[in-house]
């Protein structure tokens, strides 16, 4: 089991800061929170939803975990760790994989006030930019206090280097994501830059540096994407 505090029957014991602390110990970060009742989130009607994503320490934590070396290590690890966190807090765990049907993570992310649509259509987060990796979410029956967010996209004051970075224009505002063009480019010699270092468009976002993602981690995700 994850190294977590014991659950409490007192709903007042559940706090946003405690969830942040527990997530951090497991290599995760809280990427947003919302009250479904107030923002009319899809699939949920009440309580509090907390979105969890890969943090700075996620990669070394994953590589030291028993899931490393097995098929789909990221999803397997996420299922186990976030499932344990949910059990500890008496919350329900949701994941952006394992469907269909799929949980509406895009809707939840946009309604958290911390994630927005970028000039090329991909999501952009206020601290990790376009290097977004939601690993799961916790839904609590209780509606407890969460931080206010500015609710303003960082793209409004950005010159949008993401719009010019993709060599084949795979990420663009017109069609959002031309997956075929992206896959074809990755098969070329020129595309190896993306394969080994990560998507150039996502890396071009100034806020993506906040994810502190290593080239090794980006290469793993690119290989998984390219073979999917």
pLDDT reported for residue 226: 87
DSSP state of 129: B
97 Cβ neighbours under 8 A, 6+ residues apart? 75, 78
Q: Say which residues have a Cβ less than 8 Å from residue 32's Cβ, sequence separation at least 6.
A: 50, 51, 108, 109, 112, 113, 114, 115, 125, 149
3-state helix, strand, coil split of the chain in percent (to 5) is 40, 15, 45
For residue range 124-175, list pLDDT tens digits in order. 999 999 999 999 999 999 999 999 998 899 999 999 999 999 999 998 888 7
For 32-86, write each residue's pLDDT tens digit.
999 999 999 999 999 999 999 999 999 999 999 999 999 999 999 999 999 999 9
Tokens of 122: 């991909």
Query: What pLDDT, on a 0 to 100 scale, did the predictor assign at position 17?
Result: 97
Tokens of 191: 């595309």
Q: What is the pLDDT of residue 2?
A: 52
pLDDT (0 to 100) of residue 9: 45
**How far is the CA of 3 from the CAs of 78, 141, 186, in angstroms?**
15, 23, 40
What pLDDT does 175 receive? 79
Distance between CA 136 and CA 138 in Å, rounded? Answer: 7
Q: How confident is the prediction for the chain on average, in pLDDT?
A: 93
Q: What is the domain partition of the chain in residue ranges? A: 13-140, 154-227
Per-residue pLDDT of 73-123, as tens digits, reads 999 999 999 999 999 999 999 999 999 999 999 999 999 999 999 999 999
Report the C-alpha dihedral over residues 86, 76, 103, 20, rounded to 10 degrees. Answer: 40
- pLDDT level of residue 7 (50, 70, 90 thresholds): very low
Helices and strands (DSSP H and E) totals, the chain: 10, 8
Query: Between 33 and 1, where is the model more confident?
Result: 33
Instruction: Report phi then psi at 29, rounded to 5.
Output: -130, 155
Q: What are phi and psi of 65, to 5 degrees?
A: -85, 160
On whether the CB atoms of residues 124 and 117 are closer than 8 A, the answer is: yes
pLDDT of the residue at 206: 97
157 in helix, strand or coil?
helix
Structure confidence by residue, pLDDT tens digits, 178-228: 999 999 999 999 999 999 999 999 999 999 999 999 999 999 999 998 887
| CA separation for the pair 111, 75 (Å, rounded) | 24
Tell me what pLDDT residue 10 has.
53
């Amino acid at each position: 089991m994850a190294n977590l505090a014991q659950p409490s029957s007192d709903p007042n014991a559940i706090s946003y800061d405690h969830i942040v602390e527990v997530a951090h110990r497991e290599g995760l970060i809280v990427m947003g929170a919302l009250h479904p009742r107030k923002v009319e989130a899809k699939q949920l009607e009440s309580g509090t939803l907390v979105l969890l994503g890969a943090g700075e320490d996620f990669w070394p934590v994953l590589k030291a975990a028993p899931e490393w070396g097995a098929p789909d290590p990221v999803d397997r690890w996420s299922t186990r760790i976030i499932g344990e966190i949910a059990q500890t807090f008496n919350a329900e765990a949701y994941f952006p994989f394992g469907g269909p049907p799929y949980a509406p993570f895009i809707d939840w992310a946009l309604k958290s006030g911390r994630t927005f649509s970028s000039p090329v259509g991909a999501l952009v987060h206020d601290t990790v930019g376009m290097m977004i990796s939601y690993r799961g979410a916790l839904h609590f029956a209780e509606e407890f206090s969460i931080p206010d967010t500015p609710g303003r996209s960082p793209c409004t004051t950005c010159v949008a280097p993401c719009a010019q970075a993709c060599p084949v224009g795979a990420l663009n505002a017109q069609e959002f994501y031309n997956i075929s063009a992206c896959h074809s480019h990755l098969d070329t010699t020129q595309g190896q830059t993306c394969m080994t270092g990560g998507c150039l468009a996502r890396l071009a976002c100034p806020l993506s540096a906040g994810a502190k993602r290593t080239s090794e981690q980006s290469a793993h995700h690119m290989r998984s994407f390219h073979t999917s």
